[in-house]
């Protein structure tokens, strides 16, 4: 996606049907935000936002633990 000729959003996918994103890059002004996703059969298990990792535990149904 572009705005005023500058790319402001891009996404990469781990599947050909584009159901599982693995990278999203957003640009807001001079700041670029990079989001990386790790997927399992149950859903997203890890997200890295600009180098900061968050891990998600899921139960056997794929629901995030603690919900």
Q: How far apart are the first and last CA of the chain?
A: 34
Q: How many domains does the chain have?
A: 1
Percent of the chain with pLDDT over 70: 97
How much is the pLDDT for 5? 79
Q: 67 falls in which pLDDT band (50, 70, 90)? A: low
* CA–CA gap between residue 22 and residue 8 (Å, rounded): 17
Q: Tell me whether residue 26 is in a domain.
A: yes
Q: Tell me whether residue 50 is in a domain.
A: yes
Q: Tell me whether residue 67 is in a domain.
A: no
Q: Tell me whether residue 61 is in a domain.
A: no
Structure tokens at 67: 């919900």
Overall average pLDDT of the 17-23 stretch: 90
* CA–CA gap between residue 57 and residue 43 (Å, rounded): 10
Single pTM value for the model: 0.74
Q: Tell me whether residue 39 is in a domain.
A: yes
In degrees, to the nearest 5, what angle opens at C-alpha 49 toward C-alphas 39 and 4? 110
Structure tokens at 29: 């002004």
Q: 55 falls in which pLDDT band (50, 70, 90)? A: very high
Q: Tell me whether residue 62 is in a domain.
A: no
Q: Tell me whether residue 65 is in a domain.
A: no
- Residue 44 reports pLDDT greater than 60: yes
Q: Give the structural domain span for 22.
A: 2-55
């Amino acid at each position: 996606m572009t705005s005023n000729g500058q790319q402001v959003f891009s996404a990469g996918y781990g599947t050909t049907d584009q159901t599982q994103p693995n990278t999203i890059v957003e640009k807001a002004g001079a700041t670029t935000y990079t989001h990386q996703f790790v997927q399992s059969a149950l859903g997203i298990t890890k997200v890295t936002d600009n180098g900061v990792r968050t891990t998600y535990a899921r139960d056997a149904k794929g629901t995030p633990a603690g919900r």
